[in-house]
Amino acid sequence: MRLSKFFLPLLKENPVEAQIVSHRLMLRAGLIKQEASGLYSWLPLGLRVLDKVETIVSEELEKAGCVRLLMPTLQSTDLWKESGRYDALGKEMLRFNDRHERELLYSPTCEEMIVNIFRTFVKSYKQLPLNLFQIQWKFRDEIRPRFGVMRGREFYMKDGYSFHSSLEDATREYANMYDAYHAIFKRLGLTSIAVAADSGAIGGNLSHEFQVLAENGESQVYYDPAFDDIRDGKLNVTSEQMRELYAAADELHDPAKCPVPADKLRTARGIEVGHIFLLGTKYTDAMNVDVTDADGKPLRVQMGTYGIGVSRLLGAIIEASHDEGGIIWPENVAPYQVGLINMRANDEECTKAAEEIYSKLHLAGVETLYDDTDDSAGKKFAGMDLIGLPWQLVVGPRGVKSGVVELKNRKTGEKVEVSFAEAIERVSATTPKKLAA
């Protein structure tokens, strides 16, 4: 993509309303624009990252056997009266009447609707297990929306729901999702830890919160030092063994009951990005959901529910990966893999070289943002650092004369002078490929 044809409004100044670094950087790097309290537009660069995060979440869940569907953002309140949650959610649930005075709500979560879909179509234990998920906009009318997309009102969420003929099978799927979530966060370039959690308004028997570790995380996390060894590859454990290691956030950490000695216990700051619940029959009891068992008798269905804050993840990734100059995108979610800078758009040879490299990167399937504008070199460098693409490829008049360009790694800051061909080769070899638009 040529920057001259793109829409990338960068801000020089730090926006006063942004209190945390990810919010500041998302506004400054032209990823989002606030439209009203807790409501954001995703500008083109931000939308590209959101799409990549969505694709990774979806692909990993499909790999784990989940099936994707999509429910509408609005729904009737009837099912919520049936489940008993109509009153439980209070003012955070946005309710209103349509033109016929029928009450609707903007879904904050979809247990009721999916249970209704399930009971409409699934009648036999033979059709189980089933794990359905969607990625859809949700709304929670937060009393004080803040921190940008980290605590917005309209947010993009992955919500999954599984159905089982026994609690044992639901527990097996809970472990499957526990593993899938770790795979998702790892592929997103994040260090995550699953902590024991309270099941709150969703309900159920067992629950884990997935926290992304980041210096300015909102909660304090306490965990067994073995987690660090697992991450460093020094220790191999099964997923079951991992679930038995101690890990808890603020609210549930009790020093008196913690099995890890205080001097060994590790702590870190974390941002909650996912939550899984073994539900049991909370909703299927309330909504009377049975299938027939092998003998033709009614069998109460067991459930699990699994959420990931997809839009929130962008904030979490930036909190975990940035420096003074701006964002540092992990390769798998970077909006483009390389920023190609033409230092002198008015220099004929320089432009010819930049154009040639741009077209070769395109052919190699490397997603490239090409700064072909006549801005100053200083502005171009600062802009590229701010938006945080993994590689920068700088084409300047001096280098072009000797057939070299400068290749900069955004994360390490390392710069090398290499031939055009080698620059293309290096970038192309180390980045995920997709035909560039």
Query: Which one of 98-106, 185-193, 313-321, 322-330 is the stretch in contact with its own copies (CB under 8 A)?
Result: 98-106
Binding its own copies (rule: CB under 8 A), the pick from 12, 13, 16, 36 is: 36
CB 410 within 8 A of CB 386: no
Residue of the chain from 22, 29, 40, 383 that contacts its own copies (CB under 8 A): 40
Measured from the CB of residue 63, what is the shortest distance to its own copies in angstroms? Answer: 8
Nearer to its own copies, 155 or 181 (CB): 155
Residue 89 in contact with its own copies, rule: CB under 8 A = no
Q: Are 145 and 109 in contact (CB under 8 A)?
A: no
- When asked if residue 250 is in the footprint of its own copies (CB under 8 A), the reply is no
Q: Pairing mode, if any, of strands 391-395 and 368-371?
A: unpaired
- CB nearer to its own copies: give 96 or 416: 96
Residue from 206, 217, 221 nearest 303 by CA:
206
d(CA 145, CA 150): 9
Q: Looking at the DSSP assignment, which residues form a beta bridge with residue 308? A: 158, 274
Per-position x/- string for 152-191, each x denoting binding to its own copies as judged by CB under 8 A, each - no binding: -xx-------------------------------------
Q: Quickly list H helices, 188-237.
A: 226-231
Coil vs helix vs strand at 98: coil
Which one of 21, 89, 117, 377 is in contact with its own copies (CB under 8 A)?
Answer: 117
Residues 6+ apart with CB under 8 A from 310: 50, 53, 54, 57, 135, 155, 156, 157, 158
> Is 143 near its own copies (CB under 8 A)?
yes
The one-letter amino acid at 244: E
Q: What is the three-class DSSP state of 133?
A: strand
Bond preceding residue 129 cis, omega within 30 of 0: yes
Which one of 73-81, 171-179, 192-200, 387-395 is the stretch in contact with its own copies (CB under 8 A)?
73-81
Q: Which of 19, 88, 96, 215 binds its own copies (CB under 8 A)?
A: 96
Return residues touching its own copies (CB under 8 A).
5-7, 9, 33, 35-37, 39-44, 47, 50, 59, 62, 65, 67-76, 91-92, 94, 96-99, 102, 104, 106, 113, 117, 120-122, 130, 132, 137, 139, 141, 143, 153-154, 437
